[in-house]
Amino acid sequence: MIYLQLFISFFQVGLFSIGGGYAALPLIRNQIVGQHSWMTMSEFTNLITIAEMTPGPIAVNSATFVGIRIAGIGGAFAATLGCIFPCLIIVPFLAFLYYHYKGASLIQSVLSGLRPAVVALIASAGLSIAQTALFAEKDCNLQNIDWVGAVLLLTALVILRKRKSNPILIMALCGVSYLGIHLL
C-alpha cells in the first residue's frame, strides 16, 4: 500500500510540476510534509539540500530519497517511477503539438501565461525554505531569527552577485562557517 501511496503522490508532483524542479518544490513539500507527514519541514529542507547537491533533476532526486527513506528500495522505485511517468507521456505529446503548431499565437500565449505561475511557484519554494532556515520556530518574528544564518545568507548573496564566485564553494564556506560558529 505504501508503494502505491508513494507512486500516486509523486505522480501528482510529476503531473503538475510545470516549470521544472524548483517549481515542483511546493508540490513536493505539500505531499511529503503536509498530506502524508512523511517528513518534518526541517527534514524537507535537508532533503532539498541533498537533492540539489546530487546529480540529476531535483524532483526525481527528492522522490528517490523520500521513497528509500519511507519504504526502502521498492519505495525509491515506486516514487521515482511516479515522478517521471507523467513526463514519459506528456513530453512526447507536447513536443508533437509544439512542432506542428509552434507559430500559432495561441501556443505562444499559453506559454507566456505559464511564466508568471512558474515564477510564483519558485518564489514560494524559496520563501518557505528561507523561513525554515532563518527562523527557529514557525513564528516569523525577529526574536526567533537565526542571526548567524541571516548574516551568512546575506554575505553569500552579496559575494555571488558582486564577484560571480562559484556557488558550490560559497555554500561549502557558509556551511563550514556556520558549523564553526556554533561549535565555538
pLDDT, tens digit, for every residue of 122-151? 888 778 777 777 776 666 677 778 888 889
**How far is Cα 30 from Cα 45, in angstroms, rounded to an integer?**
13
86 or 117, which is more confident = 86
Confidence band of 92 (pLDDT split at 50, 70, 90): very high
Single pTM value for the model: 0.62
- The whole-angstrom distance between residue 116's C-alpha and the CA centroid of its chain comes to 18
Reading the block at residue 163, the C-alpha cell is 564577484
**How far is Cα 18 from Cα 37, in angstroms, rounded to an integer?**
24
Mean pLDDT for the stretch of residues 79-96: 90
Mean pLDDT for the stretch of residues 14-31: 82
- Within 10 Å of residue 26's Cβ, how many Cβ atoms? 21
**pLDDT for the residue numbered 136:** 63
Mean pLDDT for the stretch of residues 90-106: 84
pLDDT, tens digit, for every residue of 159-176? 999 988 888 899 899 889
Q: Is the pLDDT of residue 25 over 90?
A: no
pLDDT > 70 fraction of the chain, expressed in percent and rounded: 96
Q: Report H helices in 30-57.
A: 41-53
pLDDT, tens digit, for every residue of 37-50? 999 988 988 888 88
pLDDT > 90 fraction of the chain, expressed in percent and rounded: 33
Secondary structure tally for the chain: helices H, strands E: 7, 0
111 or 12, which is more confident = 12
